[in-house]
Chain A
C-alpha cells in the first residue's frame, strides 16, 4: 500500500511540475479561465520542507554511524569522536551567533514597521504617521546598538519634521515627504547598525564563528582543492607519454591551448597563438562537447521518465 501511495505521489508531483512549466499562465477550457500555477510558490515551499527533512536525516545518519563506532571503540573511533565533537561545537556556536543576531534585528522591528508604513501608506494617510511615531515612543523599546537618549531624540525630531511639513510646508509633495522620512530612518539605522556590528563582532560567539568559518573551514576547503594542482602535475609527468598518433595529437592540442592562454605564449612565441587557441575551442572542442551534452540530456530525460513513472526497480522493490 505504501509503495502504491509513494508511486501515485511521485507521479502527481512530476505531472504538476511538468504542466506548470509548459502551460501558459492563463488559459481557458470550456469557457472557463484557468490560472494554472496560481499556488506554485506555496507548492514549491514543500521542496524546502523536504530539504529540511533531509538535513535531519543527515544528522541522524552521522550520529548513528559514528556514534556506534565510538561506543564500540572500533578502529578509527578517534576520527569519529573528532567529527561528532566538531559537529556539536560548530552547531552550538553558529546557533548562538544566529540567535544573537536575530534578537538584535528584532529590536529594530518598530522602526522597520514605521518605514514600511511610510513607503506603502497612501498619500492621504500621512497624518496617521505621527500617531504611529507616538506609539513607538510610548512603547519605549530602544533598539540594540543605540542609546535611549539618541533614539528618543531621533523619533522626536522625525515627528517635528513631519508636523512642520504637514502643517507649515503645505506645498511639499507627499511622495517627497515619504522619501525624506524613509531616507532619514534608513540613514539612522545604517549608522547605528554599523556601530553595533563592530561591537557584535567582538563577542565570543561571533569571534568563534569567524575562527570556524574563515580560519578553518574556508582555508581547509581551498587547500583540499589546491592539492589537485600538485597531483595533476605529477600525474602528467608520470603518465602523459607520446606513444601513439592520438597521444601526439592530444599533446599538440594541449600545448597550443596552454600557450594560447598564458601571457608567455603571445609574448615570446607568436601573437596569433590566442586566436589559434580560440579556433580549437570553438571549432573542435565545442562541437564534440555539444554532442556529448545532447547524448547525456537524452539519457537524463529517459532517467527522469523512469523515476517519474516509478519504473526503477531499485526504488520500491
Chain B
C-alpha cells in the first residue's frame, strides 16, 4: 500500500482527537458570551423553583458528540438547583438518551455528594418521543391541562401519579425551554410553536458547530436567551458550573473540546502546508 498525503492527514486527525479524550486532558475553554447568557439565566432561576423546565433532546447518534455533553450539563445544573424538568423529543432516534442521560447525571451527582440524590418522578419526568412535531407542539402550547393531554410518561405511569407534574400543568407553568439539536427544522418548530399569544417561555438552545450561524440569527433578535455553540459552548458552560460549584469533579465537555481544538489547529496547519506545497510547485513550474 502506498502511503499518501491522505493517510497522513487521517492519522493526524485521529491522534489530535483521540489523545486528549483518552488521556482526559482538558484546557480552560475560550469564553463564550452565548453560553454565559444561558448559564446566567439558569443560575438566576430560584432554587427549587415551582415552575418546570422542558428539556427537548432532539438529537441522534450523529450529533451526540456535541449535543450529549450540552444535555448533561443543563440537566446537572437543573438538578443541582433542584429545578424540576421534563425531557421530551420530536426526534425518534433520541429516545434512548431521554431515559439514560438524566439517570446518568443523577448517578454522577449522587456519587459526588450523596446529599444530591435526585429521583425520577420527583425531580424529572420522561415524556418520551412525540410524533408530528409541529402539530403536537401547537396543541401542547394551547392545552390547559398537560396531564390529561399527554396522560402517561414513557413507562406508562399515569402522569397524575408523578409529583414532578405539579410543575407541568400547562405552558404557563413552564419557565423555560432548553432545546438541544443539530436539526434546524426541529429547532424552528419549537421556536415558532411552543408559545401562545399571551405567554412565551424563555428559550435556551444547544446547537452543533455547523448550525452556530443559524442560531446567531435568533440570538441577536432576542428569541433565544442564550445558547451552546457546539462543544466549545458546552465546555465554557462547564467552566462556569465549575466556578459556581468548586467541589465538582465531573468532566462532560472539556476533554472533547480540547480534542477538537487540537484538531482545528491541525487543520490550520495542514492548510498552510497545502498552500506552501502549491506555491513551491508553481515556482518550480515557472523556473522550468
- Majority-rule SS of B interface residues: helix
Does any Cβ of A come within 8 Å of B50's Cβ?
no
Q: How large is the interface on B (under 10, 10 to 19, 20 to 34, 35 or more residues)?
A: 35 or more
* Bound CA span A105–B155, Å: 8
Residue of chain A at shortest CB distance from B31: A274
B261, A264: Cβ atoms closer than 8 Å: yes
Instruction: Report the minimal beta-carbon distance from A237 to chain B, rounded to whole angstroms.
Output: 4
Q: Indicate whether A282 sits within 8 Å of B216 (C-beta atoms), given known contacts A225-B63, A266-B31, A274-B30.
A: yes
Q: How large is the interface on A (under 10, 10 to 19, 20 to 34, 35 or more residues)?
A: 35 or more
A289, B161: Cβ atoms closer than 8 Å: no
A105, B33: Cβ atoms closer than 8 Å: no
Q: Indicate whether A237 sits within 8 Å of B33 (C-beta atoms), given known contacts A186-B162, A218-B96.
A: no
* Bound CA span A232–B93, Å: 25
B135, A47: Cβ atoms closer than 8 Å: yes
* Bound CA span A261–B5, Å: 28
A267, B275: Cβ atoms closer than 8 Å: no
Instruction: Report the minimal beta-carbon distance from A113 to chain B, rounded to whole angstroms.
Output: 9
8 Å CB contact of A119 from B12, B61, B63, B160: B160
> Which residues, 43 to 72 on A, are CB-close (under 8 Å) to B?
44, 47-48, 51
Residue of chain B at shortest CB distance from A239: B274
* Bound CA span A211–B165, Å: 33
Chain A 223-240 per-residue mask, 1 if CB under 8 angstroms from chain B, else 0: 011100110111011101
8 Å CB contact of A229 from B139, B160, B235, B263: B263
**Chain A residues, Cβ within 8 Å of B232:** 261-262
A266, B30: Cβ atoms closer than 8 Å: yes
* Bound CA span A75–B122, Å: 57
* Bound CA span A119–B158, Å: 11
Does any Cβ of A come within 8 Å of B280's Cβ?
no
Residue of chain B at shortest CB distance from A290: B217
**Chain A residues, Cβ within 8 Å of B31:** 266, 274
Instruction: Report the minimal beta-carbon distance from B94 to chain A, rounded to whole angstroms.
Output: 11
Q: Indicate whether A241 sits within 8 Å of B274 (C-beta atoms), given known contacts A40-B139, A264-B27, A273-B30.
A: yes
**Chain B residues, Cβ within 8 Å of A182:** 161
A230, B10: Cβ atoms closer than 8 Å: yes
Chain A 174-200 per-residue mask, 1 if CB under 8 angstroms from chain B, else 0: 000000001101100110010000000
8 Å CB contact of B160 from A47, A120, A220, A232: A120
Instruction: Report the minimal beta-carbon distance from A291 to chain B, rounded to whole angstroms.
Output: 10
B161, A119: Cβ atoms closer than 8 Å: yes
Does any Cβ of B come within 8 Å of A255's Cβ?
yes
* Bound CA span A148–B236, Å: 53
A255, B155: Cβ atoms closer than 8 Å: no
* Bound CA span A229–B264, Å: 10
* Bound CA span A263–B213, Å: 20
Does any Cβ of A come within 8 Å of B257's Cβ?
yes
A112, B9: Cβ atoms closer than 8 Å: no
Residue of chain B at shortest CB distance from A286: B216
A241, B278: Cβ atoms closer than 8 Å: yes
* Bound CA span A224–B29, Å: 27
B213, A289: Cβ atoms closer than 8 Å: yes
8 Å CB contact of A217 from B27, B61, B121: B61
> Which residues, 241 to 295 on A, are CB-close (under 8 Å) to B?
241-242, 251, 255, 258, 260-267, 273-274, 278, 281-282, 285-286, 289-290, 293
Does any Cβ of B come within 8 Å of A214's Cβ?
yes
Does any Cβ of B come within 8 Å of A31's Cβ?
no
B155, A289: Cβ atoms closer than 8 Å: no
> Which residues, 207 to 225 on A, are CB-close (under 8 Å) to B?
213-214, 217-222, 224-225
Known contacts A217-B61, A221-B60, A267-B27, then 6 further A-B pairs from the complex at CB < 8 Å, ordered by chain A residue: A25-B142, A185-B161, A237-B5, A240-B274, A263-B258, A281-B213
Please list 12 pairs of residues, one from A and one from B, whose beta carbons are closer than 8 Å in the complex, sorted by A's number.
Answer: A112-B158, A225-B62, A229-B13, A232-B267, A241-B274, A258-B264, A262-B261, A263-B257, A264-B27, A274-B32, A286-B216, A290-B217
